C-alpha cells in the first residue's frame, strides 16, 4: 500500500468517524422522536376519551332535564316527536332522540318517522329497565340512520317510581370523532373508535378498513384490550403503512357498559422524517467535506510527499543499479523529508568515496595477485623443468644399467634397479598431477554443453586400451547432459572410474555402475563399485591431497585424484560426497547445476 493511499485512508477515517458518531446521535434522536410521538399520541387519545366522557355526562344531564319536561309526558305522539325534533336542532351532536314505552315500543322520535318499532331486544333498553336509576350505554349502528352511534338510555319515572318511558339519545360518534381527528397535530394521523368485540365504529380518515368491520383478534384489537399497567402503544402495520399506535379508554364509571377504546396512530415515517432530514443534511455535508479533504490531501500528498519520495526512490534505484553518481539534488523539501533527502545525498557521496577507495584497493590487490600468479607459474615451470630433468636422468641411467649391466648384477641388484625406475616414474606422475591441481583454480572454464554418456564411454574405452588388465563389468545407466568445461569434467569421470576399476581389481565378481539423474533441482551423477570400499570414520580425509585410506602397495596411486575431482566439481558450482563400507564397495557422487535451456529455464 502506497504512502499516499495510507494518507487518504487516514483522511477518510478522520471524516467518517465524526460522521459515524453523529449518525449514532441521530439514531438516538430518532428514537427520542418516536418516544415523544408515543407520548403525544397517548395524551391525544386520553383527551379524546375524556371528551367522550364529557359528552356522555352532558347527555345524561340533557336526558335528566328532558325526562321532567311535560312535552314528553303526553300521549300525543306527534307533539312529542315535534318537541324532540326541536331539541335535536339545538343539539346537532345527536343523530336522534326518542322515547320508548315500558313495553318496548317506540313512541316518539325526533325524526318523526311514525314507525311502530319494538326495541325490547336492545341491550340498552333491557339495562335501563333492569337498573332504573343509572344510564345504559351501547355502541351500535343506528337502524334509522345507519351511522355509528353511542346509544345513551335514561329511564324516566313517575311519582310512584315506575318507569314511564325510556329516553334515548343517539350520540353521533362519527361526527364526534371527526371533529377530534381534525385537531390531531400529525398529517398522517389515524383515529379509530373500537368496541370491545373488535368492531370498528369509526375510522378517520377513510381507508381500506371501513366502519362496522371486525378486527377481532388482530394486533390492533389486542392493543385495544390492554388495560392499566400495560404498555398502551405498539408499532402495527395497517393498510400497508407502518404506524405507531396508542390506546386510551374512557373510565368505565363514566361510560358504563360501553367498553370503548380510542386508538390514535401516526405513520412511523412522519415521526422520523425530521431526524431523517437532519441525517441526510449531515451526510451531505460530510460527503462534501470528505471530498474536499480528499482533494486537499491528494494535492498535499502529491506535492509534499509522493514527489519527494519518488525522487528519493529514483535516486536509490540508480544507485542500486551501479550509477554511483546518482543524486536527489536540489530543491530539497522542507521538514523531515528535506532532511532525509540531504542525508541520502550525503550517504551517496560517502558511498562514492568508499567505492573509489575500494576500487583502488582492489586494483592493488589484483596487481599483487597477478604478481603472485606469475610467481606461481614461474615456480611451477621451474618445478616442472628442474625436477623432471633429474628424474629423467635417474630413470635413463637405471634403464642403461638394466640393459648393459644386467648380466653382471644379481637378482637383488636387478630388483633394486626396477624399484628406482618405478619410484622415478611415480615421482613424475605426482609432479604432473600437482601441476594440474595447482592450475585448476586459475584457468578459466570453457563452458559448453557436455554429452556425459559419450564422455563415460570414451573414458572406459581409454582404460580398456591401456591394457592394465581385464575390466570388470561396467553398467552405464541414464546420464543427463550437463554444462561446463568438457575437458575438466572428463578428468572427473576418468579419476572416478579408474579408481573404481583399481579398487575392484581383486574381486572375481567385480561390478561397476555409472548413472545420473535430476534430483531436487540439480544433476547428480554417481560411480558405484563393489570393491575394497572405505571406513566412513576417515571420511574427512577422503578428498585431501596426499591422503590415502589404503596401502600403496596393494592399491598404487598418488593420493591427488579425488582432490582434483573435488576442485573441478566445486569450480562448476557443484559438490562431491561418498558412501562406503570396508570390503563391500563405495559410491562416489558429484552434482552439477542444471544447464539452462533456450528459454533460460532448467532443462
Angstrom distance (rounded) from CA 255 to CA 90: 23
Q: Comparing C-alpha atoms, which of 530, 500, 535, 523 is closest to residue 595?
A: 523
Phi-psi region for residue 240, left (φ > 0), alpha (ψ -120 to 50) or beta?
A: left
CATH class held by domain 444-593 = alpha beta
- The edge-to-edge listing of strands for the beta sheet with 473-476 is 473-476, 511-519, 522-529, 585-593, 575-581
pLDDT tens digit sequence for 38-75: 788 888 888 998 999 999 999 989 988 888 888 888 88
Predicted structure pTM score: 0.47
pLDDT tens digit sequence for 256-299: 777 899 999 888 888 777 667 777 777 787 778 777 877 777 77
Other Cβ atoms within 10 Å of 239 Cβ, number: 10
**Angle at CA 208, nearest 5°, toward 206 and 213?**
90
Q: Domains of the chain: which residue ranges?
A: 57-175, 444-593
Measured between its terminal Cα atoms, the distance across the chain in Å is 38
| pLDDT value, residue 603 | 40
Angstrom distance (rounded) from CA 542 to CA 467: 28
How large is the angle between the packed helices 268-300 and 3-66, nearest 10 degrees? 160
pLDDT tens digit sequence for 390-427: 767 777 777 787 777 777 778 787 788 777 776 666 66
Residue 335: φ, ψ to 5°: 75, -150
Q: Is the pLDDT of residue 375 over 70?
A: no
Q: Which has the higher per-residue pLDDT, 153 or 406?
A: 153
Detail the DSSP E strand segments found in 65-211. 94-100, 106-109, 136-141, 148-157, 163-172, 190-195, 200-204
Confidence of residue 515 (pLDDT cuts 50, 70, 90): very high
Angstrom distance (rounded) from CA 414 to CA 401: 9
Quote the mean pLDDT of the chain. 80
Do 163 and 157 meet the contact criterion of CB atoms below 8 Å apart?
A: yes
| pLDDT value, residue 71 | 87
The CATH code belonging to domain 57-175 is 3.30.450.20
Lowest average pLDDT, out of 6-15, 512-521, 558-567, goes to: 6-15
Residue 580: φ, ψ to 5°: -165, 165
Residue 602: φ, ψ to 5°: -60, 140
Average pLDDT over residues 117-131: 84
pLDDT tens digit sequence for 379-397: 655 665 566 667 677 777 7
Phi-psi region for residue 557, left (φ > 0), alpha (ψ -120 to 50) or beta?
A: left
| pLDDT value, residue 271 | 73
Do 76 and 107 meet the contact criterion of CB atoms below 8 Å apart?
A: no
Q: Is the pLDDT of residue 599 over 50?
A: no
Angstrom distance (rounded) from CA 465 to CA 460: 9
Domains 57-175 and 444-593 share a fold: no
| pLDDT value, residue 601 | 41
- Give the single-character DSSP code of 105: B
pLDDT tens digit sequence for 301-349: 666 676 777 777 787 888 778 777 777 778 877 777 778 778 888 887 8
Q: Is the pLDDT of residue 600 over 50?
A: no
For the chain, what percent of residues have pLDDT higher than 90?
A: 14
Amino acid at each position: 500500500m502506497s504512502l499516499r493511499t495510507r494518507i487518504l485512508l487516514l483522511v477518510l477515517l478522520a471524516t467518517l468517524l465524526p460522521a459515524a458518531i453523529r449518525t449514532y446521535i441521530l439514531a438516538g434522536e430518532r428514537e427520542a422522536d418516536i418516544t415523544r410521538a408515543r407520548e403525544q399520541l397517548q395524551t391525544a387519545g386520553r383527551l379524546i376519551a375524556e371528551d367522550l366522557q364529557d359528552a356522555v355526562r352532558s347527555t345524561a344531564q340533557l336526558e335528566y332535564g328532558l325526562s321532567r319536561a311535560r312535552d314528553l309526558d303526553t300521549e300525543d305522539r306527534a307533539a312529542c316527536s315535534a318537541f324532540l325534533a326541536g331539541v335535536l336542532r339545538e343539539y346537532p351532536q345527536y343523530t336522534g332522540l326518542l322515547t320508548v314505552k315500558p313495553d318496548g315500543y317506540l313512541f316518539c322520535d325526533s325524526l318523526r318517522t311514525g314507525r311502530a318499532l319494538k326495541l325490547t331486544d336492545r341491550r340498552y333498553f333491557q339495562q335501563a329497565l333492569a337498573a332504573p336509576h343509572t344510564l345504559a350505554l351501547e355502541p351500535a349502528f343506528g337502524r334509522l340512520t345507519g351511522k355509528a352511534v353511542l346509544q345513551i338510555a335514561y329511564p324516566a319515572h313517575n311519582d310512584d317510581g315506575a318507569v314511564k318511558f325510556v329516553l334515548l339519545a343517539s350520540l353521533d360518534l362519527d361526527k364526534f370523532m371527526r371533529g377530534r381527528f381534525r385537531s390531531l397535530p400529525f398529517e398522517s394521523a389515524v383515529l379509530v373508535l373500537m368496541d370491545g368485540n373488535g368492531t370498528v365504529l369509526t375510522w378517520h380518515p377513510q381507508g381500506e378498513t371501513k366502519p362496522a368491520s371486525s378486527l377481532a383478534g388482530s394486533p390492533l384489537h389486542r392493543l385495544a384490550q390492554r388495560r392499566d399497567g400495560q404498555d398502551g402503544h405498539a408499532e402495527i402495520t395497517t393498510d400497508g403503512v407502518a404506524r405507531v399506535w396508542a390506546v386510551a379508554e374512557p373510565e368505565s364509571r363514566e361510560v358504563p357498559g360501553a367498553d370503548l377504546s380510542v386508538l390514535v396512530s401516526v405513520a412511523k415515517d412522519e415521526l422520523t422524517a425530521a431526524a431523517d432530514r437532519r441525517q441526510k443534511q449531515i451526510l451531505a455535508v460530510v460527503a462534501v467535506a470528505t471530498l474536499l479533504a480528499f482533494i486537499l490531501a491528494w494535492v498535499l500528498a502529491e506535492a509534499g510527499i509522493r514527489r519527494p519520495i519518488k525522487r528519493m526512490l529514483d535516486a536509490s534505484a540508480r544507485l542500486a543499479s551501479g550509477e554511483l553518481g546518482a543524486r536527489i539534488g536540489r530543491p530539497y523539501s522542507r521538514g523531515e523529508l528535506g532532511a532525509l533527502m540531504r542525508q541520502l545525498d550525503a550517504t551517496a557521496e560517502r558511498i562514492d568515496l568508499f567505492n573509489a577507495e575500494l576500487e583502488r584497493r582492489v586494483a592493488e590487490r589484483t596487481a599483487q595477485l597477478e604478481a603472485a600468479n606469475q610467481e606461481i607459474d614461474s615456480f611451477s615451470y621451474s618445478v616442472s623443468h628442474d625436477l623432471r630433468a633429474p628424474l629423467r636422468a635417474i630413470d635413463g641411467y637405471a634403464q642403461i644399467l638394466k640393459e648393459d649391466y644386467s648380466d653382471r648384477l644379481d637378482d637383488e641388484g636387478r630388483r633394486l634397479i626396477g624399484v628406482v625406475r618405478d619410484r622415478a616414474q611415480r615421482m613424475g606422475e605426482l609432479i604432473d598431477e600437482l601441476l594440474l591441481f595447482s592450475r585448476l583454480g586459475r584457468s578459466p572454464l570453457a563452458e559448453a554443453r557436455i554429452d556425459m554418456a559419450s564422455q563415460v564411454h570414451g573414458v572406459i574405452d581409454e582404460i580398456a586400451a591401456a591394457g592394465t588388465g581385464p575390466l570388470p563389468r561396467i553398467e552405464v545407466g541414464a546420464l543427463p547432459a550437463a554444462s561446463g568445461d568438457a575437458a575438466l569434467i572428463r578428468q572427473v569421470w576418468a579419476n572416478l572410474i579408474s579408481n573404481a576399476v583399481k579398487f575392484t581389481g581383486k574381486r572375481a565378481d567385480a561390478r561397476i555402475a555409472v548413472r545420473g539423474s535430476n534430483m531436487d533441482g540439480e544433476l547428480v551423477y554417481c560411480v558405484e563399485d563393489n570393491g575394497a570400499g572405505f571406513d566412513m570414520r576417515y571420511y574427512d580425509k577422503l578428498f585431501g591431497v596426499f591422503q590415502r585410506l589404503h596401502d600403496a602397495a596393494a592399491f598404487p596411486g598418488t593420493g591427488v585424484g579425488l582432490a582434483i575431482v573435488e576442485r573441478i566439481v566445486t569450480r562448476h558450482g557443484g559438490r562431491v560426497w561418498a558412501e562406503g563400507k570396508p570390503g563391500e564397495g563405495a559410491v562416489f557422487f558429484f552434482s552439477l547445476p542444471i544447464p539452462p535451456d533456450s528459454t533460460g529455464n532448467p532443462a
